[in-house]
């Protein structure tokens, strides 16, 4: 089995004639769209149809080119050829800000857009896309100003984001007389030896001293750019912009966060029970959050992981099972950590191939297998969207985590159900609660931290020490007495790439949304059986052409009702009760 992914079906390299041809095609399309947008005259139906077709062509070729360079960079952040290509492509695409703005203004000027849409099948297919353009017009500036914003983002938020990725992927971490990477040292949080977990935590915190100031400048600069852009465009706040871009109501977020706050003490109960099991009296030290319990010490190879997931999902859906097998067999996955590779895990669609690519930092634990299940859930979501127009693939952040977390629940619940030994069962339940605590307590701490950064940024620059204080304050509120406050993680702001996007703020609560929404869907699957699977696929496909609330209605769910979120959280609360009982054996 491959250990690294293959991108050869996309391009064989930057010297591939196809890459050069596609870059030339991109140049030609940018010129054509620029000329077209300068004179949007004629019948509205004809103008919109041509605009849609040109956008489809542009998106397709731009995605292939940008995907190749960004995926290459993710496994080698020092790859100068990829960095050059990425910068060059970003510069080219920045020229689209003006034409895109002109199109937005044109669409918003149509008094009866719906009647124009209804007059043509191509436009009907893109109804959601076009109506979103009209909605976006409320927050769109003149073409000239949008061009300037786009140009400055290249050397602003985009460059600062690259710096954070470069620093965290290349910083040398001194450990046991040698040097390792940040992603490798963070993986040791799952080591069965408690002395390794603690020493790795101490080495990790020490390593941030080398890079904390550069990353602090990155975070401050990105957040100030976001604040200023929101003001220019008329958003009430960066959170307002995120909700608007997510096609989600504030009432839904309020219901979600309100339910989470109610159930936080239940998760603190789980953390204290785990702490006592491991011999701690004042709550769990941060470096023990991922400590494996007795009965959860099995190590997995990538071959084991494949067999585990194929076996599990064969009982759910043949189509997804076949896709999972393809991902392993056809080199969709880049598995292991190494110097220069970014940390964490992600899944990226390659729309033209109707495939995905998955990056992980596989360490051989059950948690790593579940991470694969999570990312392959994203791949299945992409698979369900594969026949959509490329303009109908823009899935909003909240529902983007639905299929991935659904996969986690399917995988873990099947494993727990099959386990009869109480010690092993306790370990499996704890593994699931460990992940659930991440999407509830940790995600809530990230939300509180990012909100505090935005709230404080306008009044002054926040140096690394201040950012650490804000992070510790957020962790104390989110984890309560479940964690030992003497051993928290002040640098969680430095290692999480989610904070370092100029165009994507608050990429935290969508994980909680996805986790709880997925559990609600899983409960429906248990109740409805096989008849649920087609409905589930329909829901995933619909996420590209409807709002968050609209997608949920496919399954008959009202997301603004706090009771739905409570019902999903109660599933986890019941698992916590069982875990606490099993801790007494």
Helix, strand, or coil (residue 141) = coil
Q: For the chain, what's the residue count?
A: 585
**DSSP E strands: which ranges in 337-393?**
346-350, 355-359
Residue found by looking up tokens 């904070």 in the block: 499
Give the per-residue pLDDT at 212. 98
Quote the DSSP letter at residue 287: G
Give the per-residue pLDDT at 401. 87
Give the per-residue pLDDT at 296. 66
Give the per-residue pLDDT at 244. 93
Residue 180 parent element (H or E): strand 178-180
Task: Please compute the mean of the pLDDT values over residues 217-233 and round it to a whole number.
Answer: 97
**Structure pTM?**
0.82
Give the contacts of 105 (CB within 8 A, at least 6 positions apart).
Answer: 137, 140, 143
Task: Please compute the mean of the pLDDT values over residues 556-566 and round it to a whole number.
Answer: 94
**In b/e form, how buried is each residue of 58-85, taking b as 16+ CB within 10 angstroms?**
bbbbbbbbbbbbebbbbbbbebeebbeb
Residue 182 has pLDDT above 80, yes or no: yes
Residue 170 has pLDDT above 90, yes or no: yes
Closest CA to 378 of 363, 362, 395: 395
User: What tens digit of pLDDT does each residue of 61-71 get?
Assistant: 999 999 999 99
Give the per-residue pLDDT at 448. 98
Residue 359 CA, distance from chain mean position: 12
Closest CA to 204 of 184, 234, 227: 184
Please provide the DSSP assignment of 433-488 as one string: HHHHHIIIIIHHHHHHHHHHHHHHHTT----HHHHHHHHHHHHHHHHGGGB-TTS-
Q: How far apart are CA 441 and CA 269, in angstroms?
A: 12
Radius of gyration in angstroms for the set of CA atoms belonging to the chain, rounded to a whole number = 24
418 burial via Cβ count (<10 Å: 0-12, 13-18, 19+): exposed
Phi then psi for residue 204, to 5 deg, are -65, -50
Task: Please compute the mean of the pLDDT values over residues 301-310 and round it to a whole number.
Answer: 95
Q: How far apart are CA 85 and CA 62, in angstroms?
A: 12
User: Is residue 191 a contact partner of residue 364, using CB atoms and an 8 Å limit?
Assistant: no
User: What tens digit of pLDDT does each residue of 21-41 get?
Assistant: 999 999 999 999 999 999 999
Residue 297 has pLDDT above 80, yes or no: no
Give the per-residue pLDDT at 414. 80
Q: How far apart are CA 19 and CA 352, in angstroms?
A: 14
Q: In what order do the strands lie in the sheet with 333-334?
A: 333-334, 355-359, 346-350
pLDDT bin (cut points 50, 70, 90) of residue 237 is very high
What are the angstrom distances between the C-alpha of 44 and each of 50, 109, 112, 145? 10, 10, 10, 26
What percent of the chain shows pLDDT beyond 70?
Answer: 100
Helix, strand, or coil (residue 356) = strand
CA distance from start to end of the chain? 41
Residue 240 parent element (H or E): helix 238-246
Give the per-residue pLDDT at 141. 86
Residue 484 has pLDDT above 80, yes or no: yes
Residue found by looking up tokens 């204290």 in the block: 272
Residue 303 has pLDDT above 80, yes or no: yes
pLDDT bin (cut points 50, 70, 90) of residue 136 is confident
Q: How far apart are CA 167 and CA 165, in angstroms?
A: 6
Q: How far apart are CA 75 and CA 358, in angstroms?
A: 11
Helix, strand, or coil (residue 414) = helix
Average pLDDT along the chain? 94
User: What tens digit of pLDDT does each residue of 333-387 get?
Assistant: 999 998 899 888 999 999 999 999 999 999 998 889 989 999 999 999 999 999 9
Give the alpha-carbon dihedral of 299, 301, 307, 312, to 10 degrees. 40
Report domain extents, the chain: 17-151
Task: Point out the least confidently predicted range of 157-171, 402-416, 551-565.
Answer: 402-416
**In b/e form, how buried is each residue of 442-462, taking b as 16+ CB within 10 angstroms?**
bbbbbbbbbbbbbebbeeeeb
Give the per-residue pLDDT at 291. 94
pLDDT bin (cut points 50, 70, 90) of residue 126 is very high
Q: At what angle do helices 464-479 and 194-233 cross, to 10 degrees?
A: 110
CA angle 143, 144, 149 (to 5 degrees): 95
User: What tens digit of pLDDT does each residue of 468-481 get?
Assistant: 999 999 999 999 99
What are the angstrom distances between the C-alpha of 469 and each of 279, 449, 452? 28, 10, 11
What percent of the chain shows pLDDT beyond 90?
Answer: 84
Helix, strand, or coil (residue 204) = helix
- Token digits for 487? 């051993």
Give the per-residue pLDDT at 412. 84
Q: Can you state the percent helix, strand and coil of the chain, rounding each to 5?
A: 70, 5, 25
Give the per-residue pLDDT at 1. 77
Give the per-residue pLDDT at 3. 93
Q: How far apart are CA 316 and CA 26, in angstroms?
A: 41
Q: At what angle do helices 238-246 and 194-233 cross, to 10 degrees?
A: 90
Give the per-residue pLDDT at 20. 97
Helix (DSSP H) and strand (DSSP E) numbers for the chain: 26, 5
What are the angstrom distances between the C-alpha of 578 and each of 250, 527, 574? 34, 22, 6
Quote the DSSP letter at residue 292: P
Give the per-residue pLDDT at 147. 86
Which one is the CATH code of 17-151: 1.20.1440.230, 3.40.50.2000, 1.20.140.70, 3.40.50.10110? 1.20.140.70
- Token digits for 392? 């109908």
Quick count: other Cβ atoms within 10 Å of Cβ 12?
A: 12
**CB hemisphere CA count around 129 (13 angstroms):** 22
């Amino acid at each position: 089995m491959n250990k690294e992914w293959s991108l050869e079906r996309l391009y064989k390299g930057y010297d591939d004639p196809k890459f050069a041809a596609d870059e030339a095609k991109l140049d030609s399309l940018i010129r054509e769209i620029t000329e077209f947008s300068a004179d949007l005259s004629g019948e509205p139906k004809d103008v919109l149809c041509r605009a849609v077709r040109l956008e489809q062509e542009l998106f397709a070729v731009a995605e292939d080119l940008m995907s190749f360079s960004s995926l290459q960079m993710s496994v080698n952040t020092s790859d100068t050829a990829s960095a050059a290509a990425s910068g060059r492509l970003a510069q080219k695409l920045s020229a689209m800000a003006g034409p895109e703005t002109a199109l937005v203004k044109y669409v918003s000027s149509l008094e009866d857009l719906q009647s124009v849409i209804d007059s043509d099948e191509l436009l009907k297919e893109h109804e959601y896309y076009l109506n979103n353009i009209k909605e976006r017009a409320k927050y769109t500036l003149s073409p000239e100003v949008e061009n300037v914003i786009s140009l400055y983002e290249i050397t602003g938020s985009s460059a600062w984001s690259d710096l954070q990725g470069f620093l965290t992927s290349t910083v040398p971490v001194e450990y046991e007389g040698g040097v390792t990477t940040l992603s490798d040292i963070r993986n040791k949080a799952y080591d069965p030896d408690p002395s390794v977990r603690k020493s790795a935590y101490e080495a990790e915190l020490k390593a941030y001293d080398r890079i904390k100031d550069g990353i602090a400048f990155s975070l401050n600069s990105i957040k100030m750019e976001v604040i200023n852009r929101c003001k220019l465009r008329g958003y009430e706040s960066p959170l307002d912009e995120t909700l608007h871009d997510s096609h989600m109501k504030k009432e839904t977020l309020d219901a979600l966060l309100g339910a989470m706050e109610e159930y936080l003490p239940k998760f603190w109960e789980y953390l204290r029970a785990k702490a006592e099991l491991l011999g701690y009296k004042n709550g769990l030290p941060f470096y023990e959050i991922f400590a494996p319990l007795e009965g959860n010490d099995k190590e997995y190879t990538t071959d084991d992981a494949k067999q585990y997931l194929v076996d599990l999902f064969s009982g759910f859906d043949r189509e997804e099972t076949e896709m999972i097998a393809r991902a392993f067999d056809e080199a969709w996955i880049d598995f292991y950590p190494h110097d220069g590779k970014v940390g964490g895990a992600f899944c990226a669609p390659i729309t033209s191939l109707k495939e995905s690519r998955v990056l992980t930092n596989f360490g051989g634990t059950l948690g790593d297998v579940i991470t694969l299940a999570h990312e392959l859930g994203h791949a299945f979501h992409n698979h369900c969207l594969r026949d959509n127009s490329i303009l109908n693939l823009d899935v909003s952040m909240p529902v983007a985590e639905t299929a991935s977390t659904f996969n986690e629940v399917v995988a873990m619940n099947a494993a727990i159900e099959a386990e009869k030994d109480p010690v092993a069962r306790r370990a499996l339940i704890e593994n699931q609660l460990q992940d659930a605590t991440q999407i509830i307590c940790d995600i809530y701490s990230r939300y509180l931290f990012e909100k505090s950064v935005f709230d404080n940024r306008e009044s002054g620059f926040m140096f690394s020490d201040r950012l650490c204080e804000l992070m510790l304050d957020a962790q104390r509120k989110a984890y309560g007495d479940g964690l030992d406050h003497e051993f928290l993680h002040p640098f969680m702001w430095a290692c999480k790439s989610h904070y370092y996007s100029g165009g994507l703020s608050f990429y935290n609560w969508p994980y909680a949304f996805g986790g709880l929404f997925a559990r609600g869907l899983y409960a429906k699957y248990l109740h409805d059986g096989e008849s649920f699977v087609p409905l589930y696929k329909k829901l995933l496909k619909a996420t590209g052409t409807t709002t968050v609330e609209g997608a949920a209605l496919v399954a008959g769910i009202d997301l603004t009702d706090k009771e739905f979120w409570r019902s999903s959280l109660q599933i986890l609360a019941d698992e916590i009760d069982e875990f606490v009982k099993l801790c007494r054996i």
